[in-house]
Homo-oligomer: A and B are copies of this chain.
Amino acid sequence: MKIDPKSRADLSAQIAKAIRDAIISGEMIVDERLPSEAELADQFEVSRPTVREALKRLAAQNLIRTQRGATGGAFVRRLRYQDAYAQHITTSTLLLSMNAVDFETACEARYALERACAPLSAQRRTPDQLATMRAEIHRQGQPGLSDEVFCDSDVAFHRALVDGADNPVLSYQLAGAVEAMQPLMNMITFTARSREEIIALHTRIADAIEAGDAGAADAALAELTAYTLTLGQQAMAARDAARHGTDAT
């Protein structure tokens, strides 16, 4: 765990990198305590604030946790799925919004990934997960639901579908795609007619998953993809028309 003393640029970044590499390489194991800030400052021959900036960088990546007090210090943190989810979703959301990813691209990616999960989910889903899917479908049929709540329920439904594959790595990867889509999905106004259509497709998916019929689930998901794309294009067209109308006045 050494840094190059010649290049005195971005010291805190260098120190963060040195420690991060030590963690990633397995040189430091989970729950191991790092040297105290004062010791690190001595080791790297920098001041304590510089060390602290480096540690904050690592804390931002959930690589370490700090604890005050006598036996406190910085500890290598076990990266939990939950933390990784959150991080992944934040990054995905930003990526989509900052790079003006169009609805078609995001939608295609999302459903392509979901269709990868469907066959596994048809085999392995627990009764609980199936019940969640049914419950969300029922919720989506409630009258007077706001578009936002409808979207939330949609995410929950698909989340249960993905989790049914019983593969945490898949769930982790999918979480980013599905949740990051939400801001885009929220631009759609769901009419009573389109909700009916979506609920019907959801029901077909749930039925297929219950029957263990991977082919039927895939077919229903394909239709849902096409239908969502249509809705998205309509929403985009409506938004553009409204914008141009505003510009003209």
Contacts and interface: CB of A to CB of B under 8 A. Distances in A.
Interface stretch (A109-117, A194-202, A239-247): A109-117
B59 A79 contact: no
Question: Which applies to chain A's interface (DSSP): helix, strand, loop or mixed?
Answer: helix
A170 interface: yes
A233 interface: no
Contacts of A230: none
Copies in the complex: 2
A90 B62 CA distance: 12
Given A91-B79, A105-B168, A169-B105, A97 B60 contact: no
A183 B99 CA distance: 31
Q: What is the size category of the interface that chain A forms with chain B? A: 35 or more
A78 B100 CA distance: 11
A170 B113 contact: yes
Contact of A173 (B84, B115, B177): B177
Interface centre among A60, A169, A176 (most CB of B within 10 A): A169
Contact of A176 (B16, B80, B165, B173): B173
Given A95-B172, A112-B117, A113-B116, 8 more contacts: A53-B56, A56-B57, A56-B60, A80-B99, A110-B169, A112-B120, A169-B177, A173-B173
